[in-house]
Amino acid sequence: MRVVFLGTSSATPTPQRFLPSVALMRQGDIFLLDCGEGSQIRFRRAGLRFSRLRWLLVSHMHGDHITGLLGLLMSLQMAERTAPLEIAGPVGLQDYILTNRRLLRTEFGYELRFTELTEPFEVVYDGPDFRLEAARLDHRLSTYGYALAEKPLPGRFQAEVAAELGVPFGPLCGRLQRGEAVTLDDGRVVLPEQVLGPSRPGRRVVYVTDTRPCPGGVLLAESADLLIHEATFGADLADEARVKKHSTTREAAEVARLAGARHLVLTHFSPRYVDLEALRAEAAELFEPVDVAWDLREFVLEPVP
């Protein structure tokens, strides 16, 4: 699992920073979190493949987070995509995309599957090995944060224990690793729990942007392995952050601390900031480890040991 920041500016792009977009890769699939203007350019520059894109997860309907959507969708059409594309976001997202498609007189040869969010907390997708969660944040219009949460992983296969029980090396070991009971030639049944170690927690990546510190953000970030949190303003502009419904560096750090996150990455910086290290240092006074994102910076989440 890895995360690449495609755009890290807020409101307007700068010569160094594109508008908000984050690509999360898991087992070959790409989840795109927001899609500001120019996201597809950074997508290509990061070496990502359009064919791997599975989900678009949109936080809210402010222009700096959605103006790249139509260009990306049309590029997928030009690439002759046929696989369905899942799109989640607040109410109005479907109308925005379909209206623009009509006005641009373009069609897509692939299905768009929309999930529009209305509740304070929703499970967007619940699959066999991971789930997507969304929680309402506190901004000037309906805004959601997202979490990709892997489900608990089976314990490590203990080959020496299996051998002692008489399980021959081969397909039966594989079935036990997948959680299936097996029957040996002598009629004995070996259960997975006899040869597997303790189950292991899955990883959790959380995206919280354009918000005041709020219960929804803390809920999503609980025990996150990686928390991506907006830090539009430095601590000295706390009053402006409050008025504009954004967070400061220190407020993002406090969310990470309250939620028990393991690693905080700050993003969504006001164009006024050039020295991002100064912003990181402010957050580090309350929480460590903390990093700042910049365009095309990558973070890798190691496999669960």
Catalytically active residues are 64
Give, in order, the Cα–Cα distances in Å from 293 to each of 16, 22, 272.
Answer: 12, 10, 16
Q: Backbone dihedral region of 179: left (phi > 0), alpha (psi from -120 to 50 degrees) or beta?
A: left
Residue from 178, 172, 170 nearest 153 by CA: 178
d(CA 105, CA 125): 31
Query: Can you spell out the DSSP letters for 236-252?
Result: GGHHHHHHHT--BHHHH
Provide long-range contacts, Cβ within 8 A and 24+ apart, for 238-241. Answer: 241/212
If you search the block for the tokens 């260009």, which residue do you land on?
71
d(CA 93, CA 107): 17
Diameter over CA atoms, the chain? 74
What residues contact residue 63 under an 8 Å CB cut-off, 6+ apart?
A: none
d(CA 13, CA 19): 5
Residue from 273, 290, 274 nearest 282 by CA: 290
Between strands 53-57 and 85-90, the pairing is: parallel
- Tell me the HSE value of 26 on the side-chain side, using a 13 A CA sphere: 18
Please tell me whether residue 84 adopts helix, strand or coil conformation: coil
